[in-house]
A and B are shown apart, each in its own frame.
Chain A
Amino acid sequence: MPNEGRSPYLPIPMHVLHAYYESTDNSLKTLELSFDDPQDAREFFAAFNPGQFCLLSVIGKGESALGVASAAWEGDFVRFTAQKLGSVTTALHALKPGDPIGMRGPLGNGFPLEEWKGKNLVIIGGGCAFSTLYALTKHLHHPSNRGDYGKLTVIYGTRTSGLCMYKQDIAAWHQRDDMEVHQAIDVPEQDWLHHVGYVPDVVKEVRPSPVNSVAVVCGPPIMTKFTLPALVELGFPPETIFTSLEKRMKCGVGKCGRCNLGPKYICKDGPVFSLAELNALPADL
């Protein structure tokens, strides 16, 4: 969203609409935020594209970059899921409905949805990085979008079943006849009916077809590292494999310097890159 005179460091005033734990161990919490000013909502959704992120501000604590986990059609709110790690995400976890919060965004490029029209989509996620893929899947589910894309396959792995996010929705996805869902956990659990194993191995087992397809991979670095070659091995050309990157960020608008990958800034030029683009950049991740 171009700032047009407005400071790119000035957060949009928001407040917490809903806050609830996403994982059984309470390490992941989802916040749904609504806009204090309806004009901000209009501007946000006019610019928003799944795959983008925002910087959430807890005044007095700082900012944290989080991927948007909702689709525009869901309503005038923006969803995020935060893992409790540092001081800002700890403060985010303490927020209650009605609390004020600042948000800067949407930032970054998001998924190239126009380019993907007419193609089959293979969506592969691991852990809490699934949030933007959830936004993507939700976006595709809208009746006015679904027809633009072919077959939809989702592969989602977490360490344990308790860490799986958006459980109700994902359970409902299994019943849909317009998509294929493969869930996985790392180690066996009682009553688990889906895959057991690491995501790259599940990808090899599911063997999605590279014909007229694109694959999107978001997960922890170790998962991405082994999933990208697995897709190449299945015959996906590097131009059809996409991933969303993360690095420490402060400004989110290509100025503070720290999220560079060679000459590219993950915040401004990414976070979504194709494997072909990444192959041309230094391995500084």
Chain B
Amino acid sequence: MNLILKKDHLKHLLNAWRQDYEVYAPQSLQNFTHFLPLQDGFELAFDKAHNTRIPPKALFLPTSEALLKFTRFGGYEEVPSETAPRLIFGIHPCDAHAMTMLDTVFEQERYTDPLWKARREATVVVGLGCDEPCKTGFCTTVGSGPFNHAGLDAILTDLGEIFLVEILTDKGEYLFTQLETASEDQSMQASEVQQAAKASMPIAFETEGLKQKLDQNFASPYWEEVSRSCLGCGVCTFLCPTCFCFDIVDEAQRGERVRNWDTCMFRTYSLEASGHNPRPSRVERTRQRLSHKYSYWLDQINQIGCTGCGRCVRYCPVGLDIRAMLRKAHQLPSEVLHA
């Protein structure tokens, strides 16, 4: 069943939700949009053609957070999980889809990460589909899409004066009890908007057989060519919604063991105490980044580990474009004999 949310009613609804949830929505801060908690007199920043700079994974895996607090005499205690109810409003489907992939890492059967899991369970996610998909995005190429439902409790389609609301889970249904039902025409209109958005996105590169190309060309000079202009700044991984690597360090003065976002694009990431480094240069590190997303994730969960959000393309300081890199990868020979 689809519902209708009038745009002039949105602020009222968000404020009503604030009674029960901490509500996060895109807002402007220092030239970029961020998912920030709504305060009184908030202004939303819905630039349709843009994702927030930092992906909302940061609301579940903060850039830095304590795992342990140190107590006296060499003791330590666990940091309790956050269970306060939260609502994220206006998340784009690529970012929501990415979080379902991260669930497979943090909620594995054998070792569940309690901090991630508690935040996920305490959060309702309302998506906003992309009727004007961004130019750097390529979600349809990698198995996601501008109106993909994965990871969302409800999704909105912009129909001018109104949003059409599709309820996707029980959690989502609970949010929108007061709204009127959409007519068949309105549902049809939304479906057309969704189809048109999807159709407007060109296929950025061929994914069929791409994994095999990457696997078979592990020792190819291709990696040297595509990593030549890379500065190794790591922004492509830092802003990636499916990247999850972290470091664990003891902050002795703060009395905490902390995990911080980390990146395979840094030399120290894989540097061993002996001085040996399996990925000593940007060549190996670029290979790791691309292969993880376009080969290893496929082995692990049979999905490409990229949802095509386009942040790595938009924010790369030297204009390295993963789409071009992968188009080039597809030109590589299929069978390479290694020495």
> Are these two chains actual partners, yes or no?
yes
B:265-284 near A, CB below 8 Å: 269-274, 276, 278-279, 284
The residue of chain A having its C-beta at the shortest distance from the C-beta of B252 within the complex is A60
| Contact of B248 with A62 in the complex, beta carbons under 8 Å | yes
Our count of residue pairs bridging A and B at CB distance below 8 angstroms stands at 122
| Contact of B110 with A258 in the complex, beta carbons under 8 Å | no
Bound complex: CA A283 to CA B105 (Å):
23
**Chain A's interface: helix, strand, loop or mixed, by majority?**
loop
On chain B, the residues within 8 Å of A204 by CB distance are none
Q: Does B204 contact A (CB under 8 A)?
A: no
Which of B218, B245, B272, B292 contacts A247, CB < 8 Å? B272
Which of B111, B270, B288 contacts A255, CB < 8 Å? B111
**Chain B's interface: helix, strand, loop or mixed, by majority?**
mixed
| Contact of A11 with B76 in the complex, beta carbons under 8 Å | yes
Q: B219, B264, B279, B288: which has the most chain A beta carbons within 10 Å?
A: B288
| Contact of B291 with A282 in the complex, beta carbons under 8 Å | yes
| Contact of A285 with B74 in the complex, beta carbons under 8 Å | no
Q: Does B17 contact A (CB under 8 A)?
A: no
Q: Does A207 contact B (CB under 8 A)?
A: no
On chain B, the residues within 8 Å of A89 by CB distance are 273
Rounded to whole Å, the gap between the CB of A113 and the closest CB of chain B is 20
Given that A8-B113, A9-B68, A263-B295 are known contacts, is A250 also in contact with B244, CB under 8 Å in the complex? Answer: no
Q: A246, A258, A283: which has the most chain B beta carbons within 10 Å?
A: A258
| Contact of B112 with A3 in the complex, beta carbons under 8 Å | yes
The residue of chain A having its C-beta at the shortest distance from the C-beta of B111 within the complex is A253
Which of A86, A246, A254 contacts B111, CB < 8 Å? A254
| Contact of A7 with B67 in the complex, beta carbons under 8 Å | yes
Q: Does A85 contact B (CB under 8 A)?
A: yes
Which of A7, A253, A263, A285 contacts B278, CB < 8 Å? A285
B:112-157 near A, CB below 8 Å: 112-115
| Contact of B215 with A282 in the complex, beta carbons under 8 Å | yes
| Contact of B215 with A256 in the complex, beta carbons under 8 Å | no
Classify chain A: how many residues form its interface, as a range.
Answer: 35 or more
Bound complex: CA A9 to CA B77 (Å):
10
| Contact of B105 with A254 in the complex, beta carbons under 8 Å | yes
Given that A102-B76, A254-B111, A256-B245 are known contacts, is A282 also in contact with B218, CB under 8 Å in the complex? Answer: yes
On chain B, the residues within 8 Å of A10 by CB distance are 68, 76, 78
On chain A, the residues within 8 Å of B115 by CB distance are 7
Q: Does A260 contact B (CB under 8 A)?
A: yes
On chain A, the residues within 8 Å of B30 by CB distance are none
| Cβ proximity bits A36-72 to B, threshold 8 Å, 1 near / 0 not | 0000000000000000000001011111000000000
Rounded to whole Å, the gap between the CB of A280 and the closest CB of chain B is 10
| Contact of B68 with A255 in the complex, beta carbons under 8 Å | no
| Contact of A248 with B272 in the complex, beta carbons under 8 Å | yes
On chain A, the residues within 8 Å of B215 by CB distance are 282
On chain A, the residues within 8 Å of B248 by CB distance are 9, 62-63, 250-251, 256
Q: Does B300 contact A (CB under 8 A)?
A: yes
Q: Does B70 contact A (CB under 8 A)?
A: yes
| Contact of B273 with A260 in the complex, beta carbons under 8 Å | no
Q: Does B73 contact A (CB under 8 A)?
A: yes
| Cβ proximity bits B95-112 to A, threshold 8 Å, 1 near / 0 not | 000000000011011111
Q: Does B250 contact A (CB under 8 A)?
A: yes
Bound complex: CA A97 to CA B109 (Å):
37
| Cβ proximity bits A90-112 to B, threshold 8 Å, 1 near / 0 not | 00000000011110000000000
| Contact of A250 with B67 in the complex, beta carbons under 8 Å | no
| Contact of B270 with A9 in the complex, beta carbons under 8 Å | no
The residue of chain A having its C-beta at the shortest distance from the C-beta of B272 within the complex is A248
Rounded to whole Å, the gap between the CB of B119 and the closest CB of chain A is 14
Bound complex: CA A251 to CA B249 (Å):
11
On chain B, the residues within 8 Å of A118 by CB distance are none
Q: B109, B219, B244, B246: which has the most chain A beta carbons within 10 Å?
A: B246
A:147-164 near B, CB below 8 Å: none
On chain A, the residues within 8 Å of B297 by CB distance are 263
Rounded to whole Å, the gap between the CB of A54 and the closest CB of chain B is 14
On chain B, the residues within 8 Å of A250 by CB distance are 246-248
On chain B, the residues within 8 Å of A143 by CB distance are none
Bound complex: CA A213 to CA B68 (Å):
46
Listed by A's residue number, 24 A-B pairs whose Cβ atoms lie within 8 Å are A2-B111, A7-B67, A9-B67, A9-B68, A9-B78, A9-B248, A10-B78, A13-B75, A60-B252, A61-B250, A62-B257, A85-B274, A247-B270, A250-B246, A251-B246, A251-B248, A253-B110, A254-B111, A255-B244, A258-B269, A282-B218, A284-B284, A284-B288, A285-B278
Residues of B within 8 A of A (CB): 67-68, 70, 73-76, 78, 105-106, 108-115, 215, 218-219, 244-250, 252, 257, 259, 262, 264, 269-274, 276, 278-279, 284, 288, 291-292, 295-297, 299-300
Ordered nearest first, which 9 A-B pairs have the shortest CB separation?
Answer: A257-B245, A263-B299, A253-B111, A263-B296, A100-B74, A85-B273, A60-B252, A86-B273, A9-B67
